[in-house]
Amino acid sequence: MGNDFLTFKIHKLRLAFLMLFLGALTYYLFRPSIILFDMLKIPTQTIFTKNDSNILIQFCRNHLSDIFWSLFINFSALWMNEKKIPTIYLYLIISLPFFNEVGIFFHLIPGTFDGIDLCFYTLIYIIIYNPLKIKLCKKLNFIL
């Protein structure tokens, strides 16, 4: 029957773009000062201040958009896998968040390194893409 979690009615690519939209919305609401909104000439205003001590607001500001971005990438990779796009492209797209965070850590790209984001990327990859289960199923099918 395959991966039950992913046999939902919503098309994976639509779900991926929904995650991308939610990530952008999260940035718009909690971190509107990003360069992308300036480049696209999207008017923004600060709704929540950086000094807001509410833990939910802090989580949304610091991690939620990265979680949505990682979900977008992983659902896109699932779609790519479904469409039989060469595996190298799957590896490239799935590695983007990791390379991004490592680049930030080594000051190759601007930003603030966050190890928690790396944990979220890894957890989302394991839950959504589930490489161990895929490899295990392939081995079991080969044996059977």
**Better-predicted residue by pLDDT, 135 or 1:** 135
- Does residue 76 fall inside a structural domain? yes
Answer with the residue of higher pLDDT: 139 or 90.
Answer: 90
Q: What is the domain extent for residue 56?
A: 7-143
CA atoms 75, 81, 82, 84: torsion sign: positive
- The number of distinct structural domains making up the chain is 1
Is the distance from CB of 49 to CB of 22 less than 8 angstroms? Answer: no
Determine the number of helices (DSSP H) and then strands (DSSP E) in the chain: 7, 0
Per-residue pLDDT tens for 76-129?
988 888 888 998 998 899 999 999 999 999 999 988 889 999 999 999 988 887
In the predicted structure, residue 142 carries a pLDDT above the cut 70: no
The reply to whether 2 falls in a domain is no
pLDDT of residue 81: 85
d(CA 74, CA 72): 6
Q: Is residue 1 part of a domain?
A: no
Provide the pLDDT for residue 128.
Answer: 80
36-57 pLDDT, tens digit each:
777 778 787 777 666 777 888 8
Which pLDDT score is estimated for 50?
A: 67
What is the token pair recorded at 42? 């999207």
How high is the pLDDT of residue 6?
Answer: 47
| Cα–Cα dist 120/126, whole Å | 10
- Residue 77: inside a domain, yes or no? yes
